[in-house]
A and B are shown apart, each in its own frame.
Chain A
Amino acid sequence: MEKLINDFSFGLFFWVAIIFTVLIFILRKFAWKPILSSLDEREEGIQGALDAAENAKKELENLQADNERILNEARAERDGLLKEAREMKANILAKAEEEATVQTDKMISKAKEVIAAEKKAAVADLKNQVAGLSVEIAEKVVKNELSDKDKQLALVETLLKDATLN
């Protein structure tokens, strides 16, 4: 203890105090402040980058969700469109068929009418011809066969037979 007190030197004490205090101020100005502030900056930067990455990830997720939604919508729309188109096709087909049926029916009925009219005309014509023919035949028969009664009858018979065939 006594020796240590004897060792104590005020000159050295003075120098330690001066050097240490000056060193604190110089180092604070030229080293610690810039070092600590750049460390803080860097840490903030890293934190910022991490946050930004997190945000970007979230955004990407959002975007992906959006994409998914849009895709789904598009798919639904396409499906709708397809369905509509299919329905339309079916409609068109059905209509066309109907129309065609109607048309055919009309044509058929017209044709039937025409046929019927033609038939009527033909029948009328035939009747006229048959009448003419019958008159002619009857003239002839009357001319030729009036002499013979039997023959006349047979002839009439035959004629009549022919006539009904028509």
Chain B
Amino acid sequence: MGTIPSLVGAGLIVVGAGLGLGKIGGSAMEAIARQPEAAGKIQTAMIIIGALLEGVALAAIFFGK
């Protein structure tokens, strides 16, 4: 277990990452609704960005723990 500030920091980063993931997901949905024919490409891009963001969140947990 890490110190309380490190845990709080990790928590904040996870909250931020969560907001970011929500934004990505929402934008991707809108984009797919607007252009259903590009759904595959949008999905791939969404997953890549999501994965990168997830990396940030996990790194925060990893270092904060």
Q: Taking beta carbons and an 8 Å cutoff, which residues of A are in contact with B?
A: 1, 4
Q: Give every chain A residue within 8 A of B23 (Cβ-Cβ).
A: none
Chain A residues near B65 (CB-CB < 8 A)? 1
Chain B contacts with A in 1-57, Cβ cutoff 8 A = 2
State the B residues within 8 Å of A (CB): 2, 62-63, 65
**Distance of A4 Cα from B62 Cα, bound (Å):** 9
Nearest opposing residue in chain B for A3, CB measure: B65
A1→B62 CA distance, assembly (Å): 6
Give complex CA distance A4, B64 in Å: 12
User: Whose C-beta in chain A lies nearest to the C-beta of B64?
Assistant: A1
* A155 CA to B65 CA, complexed, in Å: 183
Q: How far apart are the CA atoms of A47 and B62 in the complex, in Å?
A: 50
CA of A35 to CA of B42 in the docked complex: distance in angstroms? 30
Expressed in whole angstroms, the Cα–Cα distance for A4 and B63 within the complex equals 10
Write 5 A-B pairs (CB below 8 A) sorted by A numbering: A1-B2, A1-B62, A1-B63, A1-B65, A4-B62
Within the complex, the shortest CB–CB distance from A6 to chain B, in Å, comes to 13
Report the minimum CB–CB distance from B14 to chain A (whole Å).
16
Residues of A within 8 A of B2 (CB): 1
Q: How far is the CB of B10 from chain A (nearest CB, A)?
A: 11
Q: Tell me the complex Cα distance, A4–B65, Å.
A: 10
Closest 3 CB pairs of A and B: A1-B65, A1-B63, A1-B62
Q: How far is the CB of B6 from chain A (nearest CB, A)?
A: 10
Residues of B within 8 A of A1 (CB): 2, 62-63, 65
Q: Which residue of A lies closest to B63 (CB)?
A: A1
CA distance A20 to B38 in the complex (A): 36
Q: Hey, which chain A residues are within 8 Å of B62, CB to CB?
A: 1, 4
Please report the C-alpha to C-alpha distance between residue A4 and residue B61 in the assembled complex, in whole angstroms.
12
CB-CB nearest in chain A for B61: A1
Residue of A nearest to B62 (CB): A1
- Shortest distance in angstroms between B27's beta carbon and chain A's nearest beta carbon? 33
Q: How far is the CA of A1 from the CA of B65 in the complex (A)?
A: 6
Closest CB in chain B relative to A9 CB, distance in Å: 18
How far apart sit A75 and B16, CA to CA, in the bound complex (Å)?
Answer: 84
A72 and B2 alpha carbons, distance in the complex (Å): 95
Inside 8 A of B63's CB, which chain A residues have their CB?
1
